[in-house]
């Protein structure tokens, strides 16, 4: 693999219904920032899609650059699939309950997590693009 340390694991996280109002307001909305727990994304979100993409040597997955944006664009497309009544991962029902997912395509407030070599890079889908939230060891 020419010195590469494996692929980038991509997880698309959809916000739970009880979080949609605040997270859907975007990252500048203070209640959205306060409710998100980067140590436990399952508090506000459910994983709906996992995939892997090739890593480009030297790419910084926590920085705004062409490689990261290409991966995020692919993740956004992954998040556009219609899920029916069951999501492909996480087993969360689509419905109206507070812990359920009420949408089947990516929207403001959803997350994309990029994992490689034990480090996760969390990105927030905002109204005008992506906001990098944090690197965290996993």
pLDDT digits (tens, 9 = 90+) for 77-129: 766 654 443 445 455 666 778 888 887 788 999 999 999 888 899 999 998 88
CA distance 132 to 122: 6
pLDDT-derived band at 64 (thresholds 50, 70, 90) equals confident
- Hey, how many other C-beta atoms are within 10 angstroms of the C-beta on 15? 27
Long-range contacts of range 97-102, CB-CB < 8 Å, 24 or more positions apart?
A: 97/17, 98/16, 98/17, 98/18, 99/16, 99/17, 99/18, 100/16, 100/17, 101/14, 101/15, 101/16, 101/17, 101/46, 101/48, 102/17, 102/20
Model pTM?
Answer: 0.83
* CB-CB contact of 102 with 96 (8 Å): yes
CA distance 118 to 116: 6
Distance of alpha carbon 62 from the chain centroid: 13
53 has pLDDT over 60? yes
23 has pLDDT over 90? yes
Q: Residue 57: what pLDDT? A: 83
Question: Which range (19-28, 40-49, 70-79, 87-96) has the least confidence?
Answer: 87-96
């Amino acid at each position: 693999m020419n010195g590469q340390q494996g692929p980038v694991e991509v997880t698309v996280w959809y916000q739970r219904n009880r979080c949609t109002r605040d997270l859907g307001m975007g990252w500048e909305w203070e209640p959205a920032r306060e409710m998100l727990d980067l140590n436990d994304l399952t508090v506000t979100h459910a994983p709906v899609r996992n995939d892997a993409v090739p890593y480009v040597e030297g790419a910084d997955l926590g920085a705004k650059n062409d490689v990261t944006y290409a991966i995020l664009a692919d993740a956004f497309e992954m998040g556009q699939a219609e899920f029916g009544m069951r999501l492909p991962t996480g087993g969360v029902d689509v419905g109206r309950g507070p812990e359920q997912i009420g949408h089947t395509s990516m929207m403001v407030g959803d997350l994309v997590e990029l994992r490689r070599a034990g480090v996760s890079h969390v990105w927030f889908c905002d109204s005008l693009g992506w906001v990098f939230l944090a690197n965290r060891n996993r």
